[in-house]
Amino acid sequence: METYKKVIELATNPLHARWLTPLLLGADACLCAFIILKIPYTEIDWEAYMQQVSQYLHGERDYTLIKGGTGPLVYPAAHVFIYSLLHKLTDGGKNILVAQAIFAWLYLAILAVVMECYKMARVPPYIFPLLVLSKRLHSIFLLRLFNDCFAVGFLFIAIYAYQHRIWTVGSVAYSLGVGTKMSLLLAAPAVGMILLQALPLRRALNAAFLMAQVQITIAWPFVPVNPLGYLSRAFEFSRQFLYKWTVNWRFVDETTFLSREFAIALTLAHLGFLLLFTATRWLKPSRRSIPAFVSGLWRPRPLLIQQQISARVTPTHIMTTMLSALAIGLLCARSLHYQFYAYIAWSTPFLLWRSGLHPIATYIVWAAQEWAWNVYPSTNASSMVVVGCLLIQVLAVWWATRRGAPEEHPLADEDGHDHGHGE
């Protein structure tokens, strides 16, 4: 009985994560080396990335004229700058082994940040192995070299900075993530709710302006030549999705998938979930309804009230809000491709823990999702599991957080003010 209690205590006490994480990082580093040395690299988008940035490096500044083997450049400018650097470091993209080594270090660095975010949210140790077990995630980083790897890195740097109340760094990191791939716009509603509650209105607006300035700065080489061309390609909201590549809606027939009615239904579902979570979960620190919160924004809060609200924007609340917003967006997305699992793989373990599921149920849902994302090409069954697992995470988190949960105290703000305790 003593041994059983010891095992349970080791698995559930968040304090033990501090010695578990170095072990997992070390084991995963060995796994990364094995994958690079033993598993063949698969070409998908890397050559197209290199062709596109090569045109930029040769002086092309009209975004609409930059193209690669897979089509036109459809990512924001931070993507161009990142892969321009990789172009130089990998002999024009020819040295794949060097590229894989860079992505392996990137993977391990982001994993370390993710683990720190989990520790800040006091996630128990039994969840941490799920962060290193994904076959699909290793493939995305080490064998595919997708730009989503950098985007998800910026996302978790932003979460980490926000958890430590370093609002400027978090806002810059988040904007750089959006500037790498616009998928991170799915978390924008959560970022807004966090900043508007954690900070006085003026500072929250300053953070928003800073994010806008980052976008303008990275786009500036292209804006003088064709500003509308840059916006239409970097943030292409009207993109036509191909049914053959969908991972999530394979069980829907192609006519329905391509229909305007289906797109509208998904958009309405997305807006509905955002409204539900905003009204009942994301505004909990303010303890106000949406109308009361909006009307109160224009009246400066008394310092004590602002400090109390800010104190309730805890590291756990920040991570729950941002990752649930991301899950909602992915659930309601018109089409997910395999690289989108980069955003899911490190979010799901946290969301399943926050959902209050039994540890065995958590591992079952995680395994089902991992299986579904490793089925290629996707099938009716695999796509139903993909959608079902995301739906479980969204609904279970919403239900489990209806009364809130004990959360650790926040840290001091970057300006040196301590905002009290969240308990």
pLDDT, tens digit (0-9, with 9 covering 90-100), for 180-234: 999 999 999 999 999 999 999 999 999 999 999 999 999 999 999 999 999 999 9
13: three-class secondary structure by DSSP: coil
Q: Are 115 and 21 contacting, i.e. CB atoms less than 8 angstroms apart?
A: yes
pLDDT, tens digit (0-9, with 9 covering 90-100), for 374-423: 999 999 999 999 999 999 999 999 999 987 544 444 444 444 344 433 32
C-alpha–C-alpha distance, residues 282 and 340, integer Å: 24
H runs (alpha helix) in 278-358? 290-297, 303-311, 315-331, 341-345, 348-354
Q: What angle do CA 389, 393, 397 make, to 5 degrees?
A: 165
Omega of the bond prior to 377 within 30 degrees of 0, cis? yes
How high does pLDDT run on average in the chain? Answer: 93
Q: Which residues pair with 413 in a beta bridge?
A: none
C-alpha radius of gyration, the chain, whole number: 22
C-alpha–C-alpha distance, residues 202 and 377, integer Å: 49
pLDDT, tens digit (0-9, with 9 covering 90-100), for 130-143: 999 999 999 999 99
Q: Are 93 and 86 contacting, i.e. CB atoms less than 8 angstroms apart?
A: yes
The DSSP symbol for 402 reads S
Question: How many residues make up the chain in this entry?
Answer: 423
Concatenating the DSSP letter of every residue in 224-237 gives TT-HHHHHHHHT-T
Q: Tell me, what's the pLDDT at 5?
A: 86
Max Cα–Cα distance, the chain, nearest Å: 72
- CA nearest to 221, candidates 85, 45, 76, 54: 76
Q: Which residues pair with 67 in a beta bridge?
A: 72
Q: Are 270 and 237 contacting, i.e. CB atoms less than 8 angstroms apart?
A: no
Q: Which of 75-89, 244-258, 294-308, 406-420 has the lowest mean pLDDT?
A: 406-420
The fraction of the chain above a pLDDT of 70, given in percent, is: 95
Confidence category of residue 299, pLDDT binned at 50, 70, 90: confident
- Tokens standing for residue 109: 């660095």
- Tokens standing for residue 307: 């400090």
Q: Tell me, what's the pLDDT at 244?
A: 87
pLDDT, tens digit (0-9, with 9 covering 90-100), for 30-53: 999 999 999 999 999 999 999 999
- CA nearest to 419, candidates 165, 236, 85: 165
Element (H, E) at 416: none
Q: Tell me, what's the pLDDT at 404?
A: 55
| CA 67 from centre of chain | 27
C-alpha–C-alpha distance, residues 2 and 140, integer Å: 42
| CA 408 from centre of chain | 23
What average pLDDT does this structure show over 303-314?
95
